[in-house]
Every structure is written in C-alpha cells, then in structure tokens.
Amino acid sequence: MKVAARENKSTYLIQTVCHALDLLGQFNCDRAELGVTELSRRLALHKNNVFRLLATLESRNFIEQNSSTGNYRLGTKNLEMGQLYSRHMELRQLARPVLETMTAALKEASSIIIMQGGNIIPIFDVDSPLPVRVVSRPGVWLPFHCTAPGKVFLAGMHDKERRQLLSGELACRTSRTIVDKWLLLEELDKVAKCGYALDDEEMEEGVRCVSVPVYDKTMQVAGAVAVTGPATRLGDERLEGEIIPVLLRSAAELSRRLGGELP
C-alpha cells in the first residue's frame, strides 16, 4: 500500500517546479557558478526555458547573477532555508525528552509546534497513554485564531504581521470559536500578559489545549509547547493547579536549551 500511494503522488507533480528544483541541484562545490548554456545542456532544456526559470528563482532570491561574469549562483534564500531547517530539527531534538517527561507526568498528549511560511505546524508529538485521548496529527497545518499554539504565535508578533494574518474572515470551527477580531485581539493581549494561551473547545468540540511559547537566544518565539486532551480531564482547576505550572517549567527548560529564557 505504501508503494502504491507513493506512485499515485507522481501524477500530481508539476513539471516546471521539478525543472526549477533540478536547476538548483546543479550548483555544488565543484561548480558554484553556471551559465545559461551550461545549464541548458545539463538539464536538456531550451535556453529560453532555462532563462525563465533563472529569472523566477532570482526574483525569490534562490538564484543570483554574478555581475562580473554573467553566470548564476545560489542566492541567499537557500542559506535562510537551510538555517531554518537546522533550527527546526534542533528544536525537535531538544523538545523530545522535555515532551516525554511532561506527558509522563500529566498523562496527556504534548507537542511542539513551529511557525513556517505563515503557517503553524506540529513537528513532534507524544501521545497520551490513556485509552481516551486526542489523536495527534503531526504535519497538519493548524489555524491561528482558534488554537492555543496559534494564539501564542499571534501574541508574540508585531501588530502589522498579526493584522496581516488576520486580514481575512475567521473561520468558525465550533460554537466557541472566536470570530470577532476585536475580541480575539483582546484575548491575545491577555495571552501576552499571562504567558500562556487556551483553546477552550474552539478548534474541536470536547477538546481543550493549553500552550506556552518557547524562546531562542534572540528572545524570539521559536516554537510553542502544548498539552491537549479531552475537556472533561482538562478542567479549569486542573489546568491552573497542575498542567499550566508543568507546561511553564517545560517551556522554560526548552528555552534554556535553545539559549533563551521566558521573559
């Protein structure tokens, strides 16, 4: 079944994107710079097609042209993406023992979430050992306005970036979802002051989630740690008396491992 699923995905490939990625793959330590003619020969593409690919990649800083030779080389966006990947992998590796300890103590699911390209996505989860639990979905994009990690990221943003992300209509996921932007902004102010965010059955009925930011050495929000479980187990008293204190300590520990600390 896995092989069949992989073969089916080939029908969704976009040829132009494949050509662009193949073009980027031609640059290496041996040939840091290449011209249109050489790239055309290597890729078996017409020069006009190669030039259009280069122009597109150059507009996004994946490729830059050497003004002295006229040849092309990798742009700064590749370094940025590589550093971002390394940062996320480091965060995942550092978060794993922290999340495992947290789940062992609370018996509830825990996760580490990152923001990437205007989206938030869980990169590592530890499931609850209890028979009734919330099933984790790593790799699935989460909405900002109705999830605890989303609110954590929104609360840590500059006002311009936050308003841009909230420029469209807020989708109503449950009867508890906050769809009024002014009410959401008021809640985000509270999140910034208290240091944690709550999803009170706003994403899924019967599910609550609480989340705390993780800071890197530049004191930027590098990620968010979260605890998720059935609303029947995550009541206000347990949240305030047990879960949030453990979550804050865990986030502080992870922040220290990244060279940062909770403000």
CATH number at residue 234: 3.30.450.40
Q: Assess whether 87 and 70 both reside in one domain.
A: no
pLDDT for 1 = 31
Give the integer Cα–Cα distance in Å for 43 and 58: 18
Q: Assess whether 132 and 199 both reside in one domain.
A: yes
* 129 pLDDT tier (thresholds 50, 70, 90): very high
Q: What is the pLDDT of residues 163-178, one digit of tens each?
A: 888 888 999 999 999 9
Q: Assess whether 70 and 89 both reside in one domain.
A: no
Q: Assess whether 101 and 217 both reside in one domain.
A: yes
Give the integer Cα–Cα distance in Å for 101 and 82: 30
Does the residue 48 lie in any domain? Answer: yes
Q: Assess whether 86 and 185 both reside in one domain.
A: yes
Residue 65 domain boundaries: 2-74
In this predicted structure, the answer to whether residue 28 has a pLDDT above a threshold of 50 is yes
Q: Assess whether 108 and 230 both reside in one domain.
A: yes
Q: Assess whether 92 and 144 both reside in one domain.
A: yes
Q: How many domains is the chain built from?
A: 2
In this predicted structure, the answer to whether residue 154 has a pLDDT above a threshold of 70 is yes
Cβ neighbour number for residue 185 with a 10 Å cutoff: 16
Does the residue 263 lie in any domain? Answer: no
Q: Once rounded to an integer, what is the mean pLDDT over residues 182-207?
A: 95
Q: Assess whether 149 and 219 both reside in one domain.
A: yes
pLDDT for 243 = 97
* 258 pLDDT tier (thresholds 50, 70, 90): confident
